[in-house]
Amino acid sequence: MAKTATKPVPANMSEHVDAVAEEHRYALESADRLLREIKLAGRRPTYAEMVSLTRETGWSQKDVGTELRRMNTAIQNEEIAGTPKDREAAKKQAAKAAEVLESEGPKLRDQIEKLETQLRQIENDAKTTKQRVEDQADAVEKLIDNAPRFAKEEVQTRLRMLNETTRRDLFDLQGRANELRAVVDQGQQTQKAHLETVQRFDRRAVTDLTPDGHVHKMRFTDHWPMIREEAAKELAELEPKIEALQAEYDRDRAEIEKPLSYYALALHG
């Protein structure tokens, strides 16, 4: 019966163990360098790299995933930690900042406290004076409202006449101006809304028919440029008229209300 071959035993077992450990350490260092290269490139390991990592280290694919995450965390911490020179510079900077805070902080806090006190005083003054103005305006309204009945009725009659003439004319002109502005300038209107506005203004400016008479989406006609130009011209002529009429209305209203203002001023002469 043939003898079974046995694996030779190394003459020096301690040296053998050391050699195996050194080989394993080298394999782990090589794997670590490869992991770093993969993470810095922002990619996943290739098939060949995965085979190399599992074969040389004895890791499973799950182990490789765990090691990749470890390497990612290590790289992030390295970026934060910086070099020894970076850390030494940061310590000096922090120490300097602490010295500045210790020497300047109390003075700045004192200045802030004084400024906050001034701000509160200014805010209080503004609130108080604003309330005084509102109270005075309210008192004037009450004085006017307390005027004799005959004076108020006369003013109201004259105001109704003013509203039925000058103010009505002003509203008419303002309404026409608003209509013209919506025609001349699309502004915030959608294109469809603008086309509808222009069509209501002058049907010649918009059509929904093709040249052969078929219904199509709305569009401007060849008349539109002329119609727009005329509308813009009318608007330009209206604006100074509106301004003048507004001034006339304000002036006439103030004159009509003068008798009531007398009762708000009479006590002070």
* Higher pLDDT among residues 216 and 104, named by residue: 104
The band of 16, judged by pLDDT with boundaries at 50, 70 and 90, is low
Amino acid identity of 92? K
Mean pLDDT, range 60-82, rounded to an integer? 92
Average pLDDT, the chain: 87
Residues 6 or more apart whose Cβ sits within 8 Å of residue 54: 60, 61, 63, 64
> Do strands 206-209 and 215-220 pair parallel, antiparallel, or not at all (unpaired)?
antiparallel
Collapsing DSSP to helix, strand or coil, 146 comes out as coil
Q: Is the pLDDT of residue 2 over 50?
A: no
Distance CA 201, CA 204 (A): 9
> Residue 220 forms beta bridges with which residues?
206
Residues 197-205 have a mean pLDDT of 93
Q: Which two tokens stand for residue 75?
A: 């790289």
**Residue 101 near residue 65, CB atoms below 8 Å:** no
What does the pLDDT look like over 74-122, one tens digit per residue?
999 989 998 899 999 999 999 999 999 999 999 999 999 999 999 999 9
Decide if pLDDT at 5 tops 60.
Answer: no
Instruction: Give the dihedral sign, CA 229/230/232/233.
Output: positive
Q: Is the pLDDT of residue 218 over 70?
A: yes
Rounded mean pLDDT of 141-152?
82
Contact 160, 168 (CB under 8 A): no
Residue 11 gets which letter from DSSP? Answer: S
Answer yes or no: is pLDDT of 133 > 70: yes
Give the C-alpha separation, 141 to 115, whole Å: 39
pLDDT at 269 over 50: no
